[in-house]
Structure 1
């Protein structure tokens, strides 16, 4: 029974870590697009 709980906890931790990296990556992408848009509006390049 304890082995099943430890396995479930490890799987949950792995999924949480993967989700966190995905959200961080998405936030970086959105930030990059925002910077590019701002640069283009000010006459600069992306």
Structure 2
């Protein structure tokens, strides 16, 4: 019974870690997109 409990706990912990990684990757994508937009706006301001 103890082995089964440790397997279940390991699976739950793994699922939580993977979901946290997905949120982090999504956030990095948004940050990169915002950086690209800000850089483009700065280039347009300098060009004028």
TM-score calculated relative to the size of structure 2: 0.78
RMSD: 1.5
Q: Is the radius of gyration larger for structure 1 or structure 2?
A: 2
Q: Which runs of 4+ in 1 moved over 4 A?
A: none
Number of aligned residue pairs? 44
- Which has the higher relative contact order, 1 or 2, with Cα contacts under 8 A spaced 6 or more apart? 1
Structure 1: gaps spanning 5 or more residues: none
Give the structure with the higher percent helix: 2
Structure 2: gaps spanning 5 or more residues: none
